Amino acid sequence: MQPLIFDIQRFSIHDGDGIRTVVFFKGCNMKCPWCQNPESIDHRAEIAFYADKCEGNADCVTACPKDAITIGSEMHIDRSLCDRCGKCTEVCVSEALKLIGREYSKEKVMEEILKDMTYYQVSGGGVTFSGGEPSLHADFILEILKECKELGIHTNIETNGYFKWEKFEPLLSYLDQIFFDLKILEDEQSKMTTGGNSQVIFSNMDKLIERNAPVEFRVPLVPEFTTANGNISALAQLLKEKQMKKVHLLPYHSMGETKGERVCSPLPKLNLPLFTAEQLQNVQRPFTSRNIQTELYR
């Protein structure tokens, strides 16, 4: 079976060097409460409902073979009945219903990547594999990486670090850049909050550093989670010990919660405050005081 891809985003400038095409895969092995792509966590296709676009016609009701859709004062999808076939999305002229996740062949992915070859050459950009957790589809990605390498296309992968080393290692020969997320250092807290085993994550971190892989570390800044209980200082100290000179900092925002509502994501609504400029300066200090350059994404 081919993996599901829920978006191929062109002209991205925040997912690696230059102008990039970002391929977003479905499926993740962690469930971070602050996830910015909650529609990517489930490996199966999902039906997203955009309430602001709904015109209230009943075409979707008629098209649904499972009688999962009803329209009263507003449209409702019974997710326990829905089999995610997507027939409702095919008849929704207002695009209030969208299928999130479609099968792509390797050839089709390469076709999309090659559309912006000129921009890669001019800007030093390329393709980035994201998700979800793209390392879950390592075999599929490896074949695309080989083609990209032959064509001189710069390659990057965005990973949570929670992968089987024997599956990820073959990718290293074909990756020009690796964005590796560091979230919570303490193992029990990591498991409880994200479902990820931090011992595995930091072991993979060590292996990449030992092999001089082109890895760059990123830290999501999430109040009450990653910035709590001395976690930031502990991560800064770890990066110093690993002789890292730079870290990407990703401040929390609530856009993911809106996307989660559209697919009835089980993730909680955090309703956390956004960082002030002063708070962002304070959270950078543990890194800068250790001579680690911070690159802040706003």
Q: What is the pLDDT of residue 255?
A: 87
Instruction: Enter the pTM of the model.
Output: 0.95
Reference 146, options 136, 159, 155; nearest CA is 155
Instruction: Map out the domains of the chain with their CATH numbers.
Output: 4-43+104-296 (3.20.20.70), 46-100 (3.30.70.20)
> Which alpha helices (DSSP H) does 40-133 contain, by range?
59-63, 87-91, 106-114, 117-123
Q: What residues contact 184, with CB distance under 8 A and at least 6 apart?
A: 190, 193, 194, 198, 225, 226, 231
CA 198/CA 189 separation, integer angstroms = 9
Q: What is the CA radius of gyration of the chain?
A: 20
211 and 239 Cβ atoms separated by less than 8 Å: no
Q: Which residue has the tokens 């910015």?
A: 36
Q: Which amino acid is at 175?
A: L
CA distance 199 to 282: 28
The reported pLDDT for the residue numbered 1 is 66
For the stretch 165-190, what's the b/e string if a residue is b when 16 or more beta carbons lie within 10 angstroms of its beta carbon?
eeebbebbebbbbbbbbbbbbeeebb
Q: What is the pLDDT along the chain (298 residues), one digit of tens a residue?
A: 689 999 999 999 999 999 999 999 999 999 999 999 999 999 999 999 999 999 988 999 999 999 999 998 889 999 999 999 999 999 999 999 999 999 999 999 999 999 999 999 999 999 999 999 999 999 999 999 999 999 999 999 999 999 999 999 999 999 999 999 999 999 999 999 999 999 999 999 999 999 999 999 999 999 999 999 999 999 999 999 999 999 999 999 988 999 999 999 999 989 899 999 999 999 999 999 999 999 998 7
> What pLDDT sits at residue 12?
96
Q: Which residues face 67 on adjacent strands?
A: none
